[in-house]
Structure 1
Amino acid sequence: MNINTANYDSDSRISTALLLAAGTGSRLFPITKDAPKCLTLVSEKSILERLVANLKKEGFKRLVIVTGYKEECIIEYLGKQTEDLSIEYIHNPFYKTTNNIYSLWMARNIINEPFVLLESDLVLENSLLNQMMYPDRMAVAKMQPWLNGTTVAVNKDNLVTQFQPGTTDIYTDIRFKTVNIYSFSLSSWRKICKKLNQYISEGSVNSYYEIVFSKLVEEKSLFLTAVSFDEKPWYEIDTIHDLAEAEKLFPLESSKEVAYAINL
């Protein structure tokens, strides 16, 4: 499922990222008692520091962050500029009672270009982002028994054909776990915004944004190419156990990216 980027003009590379960081990180409490989840340390380096370093290495120029819980900690930590990366903030005042669909909706007026969407609880090897620098892609990994959450079906052309809600059913080899990194063209983003407006106006503020992507894929109006994250290390940190596993993949004693320690 590796993507060959040789046919893309370098000018088409995406340079804007949207980071959702509004949640309370309750499953990491008490670590998140005084700071948002993205400032949690993984081998003495915060998730946010790692993500920003990833973005700068890939040449991103603009970072928009949707904040909520303990937003002042993020703003104090990053400021509005880090080297060539400008940083803007959108505050979600309803972070306690809404989910990421609402945070994504809040970015509808500030982003008017292709962009990469990331969650702020991910640690990953930098090279994985390189394949997400072009529009309309979705990061996935082969489903494993220890993974949970939304999965997708992918056809022989590497296009995502269906989103499937998290389930305890036995998985099949056509299911892939969502990694929560997406890239969108401007035309796709406009379709997403239209659907977001519909869901928010109907009061669906506590849903996940995947419900929007799922509906658009089902309607055949959103086409996402699956990009495999199976060959390099990444981890989504929601719990204390996740944090321990992530530190195995990104140990303190190594200054370089480590070999993937989980057999996917």
Structure 2
Amino acid sequence: MRAIILSAGRGSRLLPLTELMPKCLVPVGGRAILDHQLRALAEAGVERAVVVAGYRFDQVGAHLALHAPPLPVELRFNPFWAVSSSIGSVWAARDLLDEAFCLMNGDTTLDGELLGRAFAAAGRGVGLVVEPLAEPHSDDMLATVEGRKVTAVAKSLDPASATHRSLGVVVAGASSDYPIVLERVIAGTDGINAYHHDVVNALASQGEVEAIVEDSGSWQEIDRPEDIERWSARANRRE
């Protein structure tokens, strides 16, 4: 299992924190978001990570050089980060998708136990880690789960029909159709502006996405400054 972390975006909703640094380096609990992710991946047994960066790419490289990560990390540049959505970063790592992989949003903090459970539950195809939906938020990537299958995933889903929300973690086996569908989606109309979840949604429409349900709550998407405060409050409760 190798991990691909999508960290190319600026994170405009985290301004002014991202005025001078990329979103993945924003400190949360005294540690960059990227450092939280790399530590969790190492704890889950991942042997190699690829970080796809774009905005202030040089800072990400300098950070990795200064803060020795707990597993080997390859840094890749997405030159289209400013004109494409997250699918562009997946495209920059498309040569890695013919083996088992874990794809992660670059703005989500989670722990190694959560990832370990996701990897243990993954099959040979594609799985999406989801959480039962309690109260939808405007930033949520919503999903509909029927039985053990994800049938749809999109921000535009009607919250009344959505049952879960995505944690932004995709796991896939070496025999998955993810690379084929990625090419089809990005080549479609306005494909460069697609989310990487649009690939999962296309696979879900074919009945090819397993729902990996996680209800521990041990994760936090860092989308806005108040999300950092929520992370800190939860960390204090755990202590």
TM-score (ref. length: structure 2): 0.88
State how far apart, in whole Å, the 1-side matches of 2:32 and 2:153 are: 31
Structure 2 residue aligned with 1:212? 199
Partner SS state of residue 132, structure 1: helix
Partner SS state of residue 186, structure 1: coil
The structural deviation recorded for 1:143 is: 1.3
Relative to structure 1, is the Cα distance of residues 110 and 230 closer, same or farther in structure 2, using a 3 angstrom cutoff? Answer: closer
Residue 123 of structure 1 pairs with residue 109 of structure 2? yes
Find 1:144's aligned residue among 124, 134, 138.
134
Show structure 1 runs of 5+ residues with no match. Answer: 1-13, 260-264
State how far apart, in whole Å, the 1-side matches of 2:23 and 2:67 are: 21
Structure 2 residue aligned with 1:52? 38
State how far apart, in whole Å, the 2-side matches of 1:197 and 1:108 are: 9
State how far apart, in whole Å, the 1-side matches of 2:15 and 2:155 are: 26
Structure 2 residue aligned with 1:30? 16
Identity of aligned residues (%): 27
- Give 1:240's aligned amino acid: P
Find 2:230's aligned residue among 224, 241, 245.
245
RMSD (Å) for aligned C-alpha atoms:
2.3
- Asked if the contact 1:80–1:88 (Cα under 8 Å) also holds between the matched residues in 2, the reply is no
| Structure of higher CA gyration radius | 1
Residue 171 of structure 1 pairs with residue 160 of structure 2? yes
State how far apart, in whole Å, the 2-side matches of 1:145 and 1:154 are: 16
The structural deviation recorded for 1:37 is: 0.7
- Asked if the contact 2:181–2:199 (Cα under 8 Å) also holds between the matched residues in 1, the reply is yes
The structural deviation recorded for 1:111 is: 4.2
- Give 1:33's aligned amino acid: E
State how far apart, in whole Å, the 2-side matches of 1:103 and 1:32 are: 19
Partner SS state of residue 138, structure 1: strand
Structure 2 residue aligned with 1:62? 48
Residue 183 of structure 1 pairs with residue 171 of structure 2? yes
The structural deviation recorded for 1:60 is: 1.3
- Asked if the contact 1:150–1:178 (Cα under 8 Å) also holds between the matched residues in 2, the reply is yes
- Asked if the contact 1:153–1:163 (Cα under 8 Å) also holds between the matched residues in 2, the reply is yes
Relative to structure 1, is the Cα distance of residues 165 and 31 closer, same or farther in structure 2, using a 3 angstrom cutoff? Answer: closer
Residue 20 of structure 1 pairs with residue 10 of structure 2? no
Q: Structure 1 runs of 4+ off > 6 angstroms?
A: none
Find 1:154's aligned residue among 121, 124, 145.
145
- Give 1:214's aligned amino acid: N
Partner SS state of residue 85, structure 1: coil
- Asked if the contact 2:39–2:69 (Cα under 8 Å) also holds between the matched residues in 1, the reply is no
Find 1:231's aligned residue among 185, 191, 216.
216
Relative to structure 1, is the Cα distance of residues 80 and 34 closer, same or farther in structure 2, using a 3 angstrom cutoff? Answer: closer
